[in-house]
Amino acid sequence: MQKQARSGRWPCWRRWPPLKRIRRGLWRHSSIGLKWVFKLKSDEHGEIVKHKTRLIAKGYVQQHGINFEEVFAPITGIESVRVVLALAAHCGWSVHHMDVKSTFLNGELVEEVYGAQPPWFTAAGHGGKVLRLCTAFSKGVEPQARHKLGFTKSKYEHGLYMRGAEASRLVVGVYVDDLLIMGERLTEIDAFKVEMKKLFCMSDLGPLSYYLGIESAYAIKFLKKPDIGSCNACTTPTEVRLKLAKQGTLPVVDATLYRSLIGSLRYLLHTRLELTFAIGYLSRFMEELRLEHMVAMKHLLCYIKGTSDHGLLYTNNGGELNLLGYSGSDMVGDVDVRKSTTGVIFFLGSIPGQQWRARRSGSGSHHRRLLEDIIGAKIPSPMLKMDNQSAIALSKNLVLRDRSKHIDMKFHFIHECVDKGDIDIELAGTQEQFADILTKSLRKKAFQELRGRIEVIKLN
């Protein structure tokens, strides 16, 4: 970097006259300050593998319509990532990982953007000059690469691309500068890597082992924060039959740490679906935090400490490729607003966790269309199992009697899905209702049994 600064050769910047000299012709433009950002990059074990340095623009001084027109980044939704990983596990595909070096410097920048020279690296003899940004991430990069490599964009996920058919099928998921590459034949994957290296400067990370920090190492690193302190491990994320209210009896406490913990824990949900209820429930009390809420948070952290090596396991158990869902409710479990928490979890074959959510309320049809788009073939309609016989009866035969005519039509969407064949519904017994782990606090034995059945287990 010092050599580049002395020579004045920055790969993406071009030196420009002082801004006061060009104000007459480009009066709308102003110089944007730059700053260095230093970051440590860790592997799946939490070990430092790289010291990264980024030179970034101070975005808060940029004006829409002058310095930029729109802000975007190509990403594959995390639910879609889970779907394609489960599909790869079911079909026995190989999954590889590549990283694009300097992603945001691969496109020609049309707008005129000027920045001050970087701190500590002012070019000798040119202290009064500014820099003009020449390259940045561009919309033109993605269509150009897609056209050259023969890929087709998915209709249902904008960051997902496919090419080939049957055994030659190749699926690529894009998350800004990270590429997930999946296919049955390693020769197809290797050929794609060679093609990408010809177009861009790439890092080949080999078989997928660490993606977006979603690993058990995240939980371990998270628990090492100095503000959390020490805690003893426990066996359940919440106390049995936990009931909290916003207007508690204990004194109000500072919510700064609590809110920070909730934000960090929500990222952990990507692979720890058994935490859905606990984290969603505690998220309701951030506005006016009381001591009993903080005690419940401490209990959750103790559980995470004891299960930091747990995660969602995707295995190839064979069988038919279909979607199976479970839906359940706690029946007006919220003591503040008297609403129910509804939980939904979908399995792809025997692989859980393609979609899960727990929310106060009030289909897997999107995932079905996405899977059909990826594999290029039809799959059976998703099956949704629930333990509410009245809801099943209404969904199959919508008769508005005196006790059901008050229900607004927007709640009968599932009935339309059943009519069109987008989803099938069956009754699930209490013993096989997997969604219970998303809607209520369970006893130790019931919780651990359900946790094992949804394949959240201790990983080696």
Instruction: Give tens-digit pLDDT for 62-111.
Output: 667 666 666 666 788 888 888 888 888 888 899 999 888 765 555 666 66
- The average pLDDT across 231-240 equals 88
When the pLDDT of each residue in the chain is averaged and rounded to a whole number, the result is 77
Helix 291-306, helix 216-223: angle, nearest 10: 130
Instruction: Indicate whether 87 and 198 sit together in one domain.
Output: yes
Distance CA 444, CA 373 (A): 41
DSSP 186-247: HHHHHHHHHHHHHHS-EEEEEE----TT-SHHHHHHHHT-TTT------SSSS-TT----SS
H or E segment and range at residue 293: helix 291-306
Instruction: Give tens-digit pLDDT for 333-370.
Output: 777 777 777 888 888 877 765 565 655 443 556 778 88
Q: Is residue 459 part of a domain?
A: no
Reply yes or no on whether the pLDDT at 138 is more than 60: no
Q: Is residue 279 part of a domain?
A: yes
- Of 413, 229, 435, the residue nearest 346 (C-alpha): 435
Cβ contact 173:82 at 8 Å: no
Distance CA 178, CA 182 (A): 13
> How much is the pTM?
0.75
Instruction: Indicate whether 287 and 322 sit together in one domain.
Output: no
- The average pLDDT across 379-403 equals 70
Q: Is residue 259 part of a domain?
A: yes
Number of neighbouring beta carbons within 10 Å of residue 251: 8
Per the structure block, which two tokens stand in for 213?
């920090």
Instruction: Indicate whether 194 and 240 sit together in one domain.
Output: no
Reply yes or no on whether the pLDDT at 250 is more than 50: yes
Instruction: Indicate whether 141 and 193 sit together in one domain.
Output: yes
Sheet architecture: strand order including 178-183 = 152-153, 160-163, 170-175, 178-183, 94-100, 202-207
Sheet architecture: strand order including 114-115 = 13-16, 130-133, 114-115, 31-32
| Alpha-carbon dihedral 368, 373, 377, 381, rounded to 10 degrees | 10
Last residue of a domain, one of 310, 328, 346: 310
Q: Is residue 460 part of a domain?
A: no
Instruction: Indicate whether 134 and 48 sit together in one domain.
Output: yes
Instruction: Indicate whether 11 and 50 sit together in one domain.
Output: yes
Last residue of a domain, one of 190, 207, 224: 207
Of 249-258, 263-272, 349-358, minimum mean pLDDT range:
349-358
Instruction: Indicate whether 192 and 248 sit together in one domain.
Output: no
CATH number of the structural domain spanning residue 414 = 3.30.420
Q: Give the chain's length.
A: 460
Radius of gyration of the chain (CA): 26
Per-residue pLDDT, 12: 54
Q: Can you tell me whether residue 437 is helix, strand or coil?
A: helix
- The average pLDDT across 267-274 equals 85
> Distances from the Cα of 436 to the Cαs of 244, 330, 344, 456, in angstroms?
19, 8, 9, 15
The domain of 372 spans: 317-454
Instruction: Indicate whether 57 and 198 sit together in one domain.
Output: yes
Last residue of a domain, one of 251, 277, 310: 310
Distance CA 217, CA 41 (A): 12
Reply yes or no on whether the pLDDT at 191 is more than 90: yes
Q: For the chain, what is the domain count?
A: 3
Most confidently predicted of 135-149, 222-236, 396-410 = 222-236
Q: Can you tell me whether residue 360 is helix, strand or coil?
A: strand
